[in-house]
Every structure is written in structure tokens, then in C-alpha cells.
Structure 1
Amino acid sequence: RTRLLSQQLTWLRQVRDVVFYSESEIASLPTVGLRPAFREELVGSGAWKNFPALIDLHKRFPLHKWVYFSDDDTFVYVCNLLSRLGHYREDNDYYIGLYWTPRVDMEWQEGQIAYASG
């Protein structure tokens, strides 16, 4: 069983385009399977799949203004999320969330910025 079913029955009903990414196939859900690069599954407890997912999302939805990632244990108040995003310009680059990286090589040189998920 998966916690994604409860998301589908609640807050995901308010979201127009949803894609599930997983390293395991879930027959009851439309999942896109991702496989980690060699030894990458050892780093970041699953964060390795976010970059391939971003590339895939851009190909699927090239005109979308925002991308939101969450795990299967997350509940989102969609109205609050959209209200918060309304304070930002979609033509600027933002990372909104927790800063964390297990690898120094994932940090950019311009400062304490890293790709993050959460």
C-alpha cells in the first residue's frame, strides 16, 4: 500500500497536473520510474531523483510557471501554496524551502545555495 492514495483523495484533487516519480513501480498509480546513477542511491535518501524529475517535468509541461515537489507523507493546503507563490515573480529564479545538501559538489559557487528538496 502507498500513502499516495490518501493524497489523491484529498489535496491532489485541487492540482491540475500531477506526476509521480519513483524508483519502484506502483501498479495502481501512474508512476514514472527513475533509476539512480551508480552509487547515487547512497546519497541524499532519494534526492537523486529530483534532477531527472525536473528535466522530465520541463519536457511534459514547458509552459508551466511553477514546479512543486513533495514526498508521500506531505499534506498541502493548495490555496495557501498558491497564495504564497503569488508574492513571487515567476520570471525570476527562486528556491523556496529548506537548504540541505549531503554533497559539497551540489552547491553553487555564488554562496550558500544548493539544490534542495523537502
Structure 2
Amino acid sequence: MTDHPCQADLREAGYAIIRKNYASAMDILQSLARDGIPAAITGLGALYQTGTGVEPDGSMALHYLSKALEAGDGVAAANLAMLYRFGSAGIEKDEETSWSYARTARKMDIFLC
């Protein structure tokens, strides 16, 4: 079976992150995000959420993760749950919002422990 063309690019972005080549990962993810690939949009949100290769920025994380969730990415819902569970730069902890996103993730077959 052949991968969808973006799968190879998403893998390459992951490898770039592992190699700490964050500029390359951002380039790949931004290009895919412009094409509307939900997993890439989630990836960008996760980088801002965790501060991986960029300054942590809760507002940017929220922007990308919300956009990815709107596109149907359940992982984005799980990441939003964690964003509100622990807070982030510019995002206050909010247990009720966290649980709401966790329930959304569960409905999308993404389970949090």
C-alpha cells in the first residue's frame, strides 16, 4: 500500500524534530498546513504548546489546534485538553474547558489517560 503524499512529508517533519532541526520541521509543517492538512496544523500547534523549536506561545497553540480540530483532527482536541489542563504561556488553566476537549477527543476515538 502506498502512503498519501503528505504522509512522507509528515514523517520527515517528525524526523527533523527528532534531529532538532526545528527550522526544517516548521517549513514542512507550515507548507502542509497551508494545504489544509489537519495533522500538520496540529503539529504546529503542538510545537507552540510545548515550546519545541519556538518560544512557547499558548495563543498560537490555541489558534492552530482550534483550526485543526475544526478540520476534524481528534489529536488536536486531546492537545487542547492538555493545553487547558496545564496552561501555557498566555493560557490559564481551566479544568472545565480541559474536560470538554477531553470529551470531544473521546468522541473522536482519541483517549487520554
TM-score, normalised via structure 1 length: 0.27
Comparing both structures, which one devotes a greater share of its residues to strand?
1
Comparing both structures, which one devotes a greater share of its residues to helix?
2
* Higher Cα Rg, which structure: 1
